[in-house]
C-alpha cells in the first residue's frame, strides 16, 4: 500500500504541474490566518504533512474532519489543506457524486468540489492556498457525508510550499 499512496501523491503533483502558472497566484483567504492578501509562490508543493487517517463512514451522516497545522518556523509559510478520500486498491472506486464535502467558511458550510484520479477523490490545492504566518495555527473544518456507501479511507493532509 505505501506504493499506492506514493503514486497518488506523484499523480497529484503531476496534475498540479500541468496547470498554468496563473492558477497558483490567488491564495484563498482565511481571516484568522492571514491579516491581508499576499502573493503566493507559483510552484508545486515541496512536501505534505499527513494527518490522522480514518475509515470512510458508511452511515450516510455528516462527519466533521478537522485539519490543524501549526507553522513553528520563524517565517511565513505558504500551505494548503487538502482532503483525500481513497478507494481500495482493487476498487470499487468512489466517484465525486458518492460523497458530499463541505468546508466551514464565514460561519456557513460551503460545498467543496472534488476531483478524481486513480481511485482517489481530492480537493483542489490551488483554491485552498494561503499564507500561514510564523507561529500561527490553521484550523480548518470540513464536513463529509457519504451518499453512496463503499469502502475507503479519509486522509486529511497539508501541502507545504517552498
- The DSSP string of 88-153 is PTTSPPP-GGGEEEEEEETTEEEEE-EEEETTEEEE-HHHH-EEEPTT-EEEEEEEEEESS----E
- Rounded mean pLDDT of the chain? 82
* pLDDT tens, position by position, 74-91: 999 999 999 999 999 988
Which residues are CB-contacts of 107 (< 8 A; sequence separation ≥ 6)? none
Q: Are strands 137-146 and 62-70 parallel, antiparallel or unpaired?
A: antiparallel
* pLDDT tens, position by position, 50-66: 999 999 998 999 999 99
pTM listed for this prediction: 0.74
**pLDDT band at 42; cut points 50, 70, 90:** low
Q: Quick check: 37 pLDDT over 70?
A: no
Give the chain's end-to-end CA distance (angstroms, integer): 28
At residue 110, what are phi and psi to the nearest 5 degrees? Answer: -115, 135
The rounded distance, in Å, linking the Cα atoms of 142 and 154 is: 12
Q: Quick check: 39 pLDDT over 80?
A: no
Q: What is the pLDDT of residue 91?
A: 87
Amino acid at each position: 500500500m505505501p506504493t499506492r499512496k506514493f503514486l497518488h501523491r506523484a499523480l497529484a503533483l503531476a496534475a498540479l504541474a500541468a496547470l498554468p502558472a496563473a492558477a497558483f497566484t490567488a491564495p484563498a483567504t482565511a481571516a484568522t490566518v492571514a491579516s491581508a492578501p499576499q502573493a503566493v509562490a507559483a510552484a508545486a508543493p515541496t512536501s505534505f504533512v499527513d494527518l490522522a487517517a480514518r475509515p470512510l463512514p458508511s452511515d450516510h451522516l455528516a462527519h466533521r474532519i478537522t485539519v490543524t497545522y501549526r507553522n513553528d518556523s520563524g517565517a511565513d509559510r505558504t500551505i494548503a489543506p487538502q482532503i483525500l478520500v481513497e478507494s481500495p486498491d482493487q476498487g470499487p472506486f468512489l466517484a465525486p457524486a458518492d460523497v458530499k464535502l463541505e468546508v466551514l467558511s464565514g460561519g456557513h458550510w460551503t460545498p467543496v468540489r472534488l476531483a478524481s484520479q486513480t481511485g482517489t477523490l481530492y480537493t483542489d490545492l490551488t483554491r485552498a492556498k494561503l499564507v500561514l504566518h510564523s507561529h500561527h495555527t490553521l484550523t480548518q473544518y470540513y464536513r463529509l457525508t457519504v451518499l453512496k456507501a463503499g469502502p475507503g479511507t479519509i486522509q486529511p493532509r497539508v501541502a507545504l510550499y517552498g
